[in-house]
Chains A and B, each alone.
Chain A
Amino acid sequence: MPSLGADMEAGTLVEWLVKPGDRVKRGDVVAVVETQKGAIEIETFQSGQIEQILVDLKSKVPVGTPLARIRTEGEEKPAAIAAAPPPAVPTAPPAAPAVAHAAPPVVQAPGPPPPITPPPPLAPATAARARVSPAARRLAEERGIDLSTVTGSGPDGAITFADVERRIGEAAAPPEKKRGGLDLAAMRLAIAAAMARSKREIPHYYLEHQVEITACEQWLAEKNATLPPDNRLLLGALAIKAVALAARRFPAFNGFYRDNKFEPAPAVHVGVAVAIRGGGLAAPALHDADRLPLDELMSGMRDLVQRTRAGRIRGSEMSDPTITISSLGERGVEVLYGIIYPPQVAIVGFGKAVVRPWVVDGAIGPRSVITITLSGDHRAPDGHAGALFLAEIGKLLQEPDKL
């Protein structure tokens, strides 16, 4: 079970897209996990053959639990391995990988060998399941309530009949609460946890910069006049590209603050803040945004926004943005100051474009102007570097044809 965010402790496996014997390659979506942020598609980091599924549907397991075993290419059948000393108790699962690398086959010396060390029991999940009164469990089954979504009020957090009744009431009350794979109430809690942690731990500083975007608007109008709707570009795509390029040139804003130090990220994965109808918000990553040509960046952004709103975000998109962009679009307000999503160290905000009197070559004329802000983590790069970074974004937007 991968960690899909700083505050995630456990996830519920809701769908397996592979079965034992299936061949998978790195990057394939193999499962869907329900978290506070909604249903997340889990990709494998290993190529090979699925050997064993370790987590059943509907099981809630802590982060770090292996979900399946994959036999990698070239790994031999366990029977072919020479005898080894009998293994003791099965060891704890590796903590990090989403889908565990197949453990080196261990074979007992005498007798018919079990090919693979059995996984340890999933203690937390089992314990969680045990604390449900039989009447509550029966009621939940009758009404199709997932017990992992019920908060227990009994001794040691045990789920009682009344708790399940209350959950049924909640599920029935607001019909728009669930949208696609999204649970907006749970998402609200995740936002609350991340933003509260940010404001508790990160000493933010804020900079703002007004940038004329007439060049961008003209360039977009000319370009889009020649394109069918499927391929048209939005100002947002130029904004993402400019920020991504600036982040590559100023690596101090692209990465994570962890264990009292800043770690620059090797790639630029721009988190795109996506508002979700009904009051949700997520900022999944557009991978390698600095390297994508604008047309690919635009189609990637459209796909990402649509999937986010439909509740189909992939695990890697949730966990690896290295810097975030938030934009309130062409309506609303002129300036937005973002809150950094930990452990990132910067968020860039775009307000709406407005026509303002502007001095160009000594004369005042109407120009489209946008206010770009930077919220930076003062433990990492300071405000001086932030000013240069923000100015670089403004400069890049003056030459949209080079983006």
Chain B
Amino acid sequence: MTDIDIRKVVQEELNNIAPEADLASLDPAADLREAIDIDSMDFLTFITAIHHRLGLDIPEIDYPKLITLKGAVAYIAAHLGSSKGA
């Protein structure tokens, strides 16, 4: 998967949670909790969706690394690459 594909998946899943959010114009470095009003339940829904869709089980301890759009794409790209076939 390219970064562009991953970004598309991340945006789609965030959009399922926050349909009103304009993710295309969102600052990639903005804290999603504040920028699009994501609470802990929403974030868990996002992590669960990524697990189902990409097979990537993100441990809770890594959640802070995914709290921006940019961070989420970078984290998923790095871990999908390093755990091929997982």
Contact = CB atoms under 8 A, between A and B. Distances in A.
Contact of B40 (A176, A229, A277, A329): A329
B60 A224 contact: yes
Interface residues of B, number: 20
A228 B44 CA distance: 11
A383 interface: no
5 contacts: A176-B20, A221-B60, A229-B51, A232-B60, A330-B40
A331 B20 CA distance: 20
Contacts of B20: 176, 277-278
Contact of B44 (A221, A225, A232, A331): A232
A378 interface: no
Which 8 residue pairs spanning A and B have beta carbons closest together? A229-B48, A329-B39, A224-B60, A229-B51, A229-B47, A234-B40, A330-B40, A305-B41
Interface of A: 176, 179, 221, 224-225, 228-230, 232, 234-236, 275, 277-278, 301-302, 305-306, 329-331
Contacts of B39: 275, 329-331
Contacts of A176: 20
Interface string B23-62: 0000000000110010111001101101100000111110
Contacts of A235: 40
Given A229-B48, A232-B60, A331 B33 contact: yes
Contacts of B61: 221, 225
A228 B51 contact: yes
Nearest to A331: B33
Nearest to B34: A331
Contacts of B45: 302, 306
Given A232-B60, A305-B41, 20 more contacts: A221-B61, A225-B59, A225-B61, A228-B51, A229-B47, A229-B48, A229-B50, A229-B57, A230-B48, A230-B51, A234-B40, A234-B44, A235-B40, A236-B40, A236-B41, A275-B39, A277-B19, A277-B37, A330-B39, A330-B40
Contacts of A302: 41, 44-45
B9 interface: no
Contacts of B34: 331
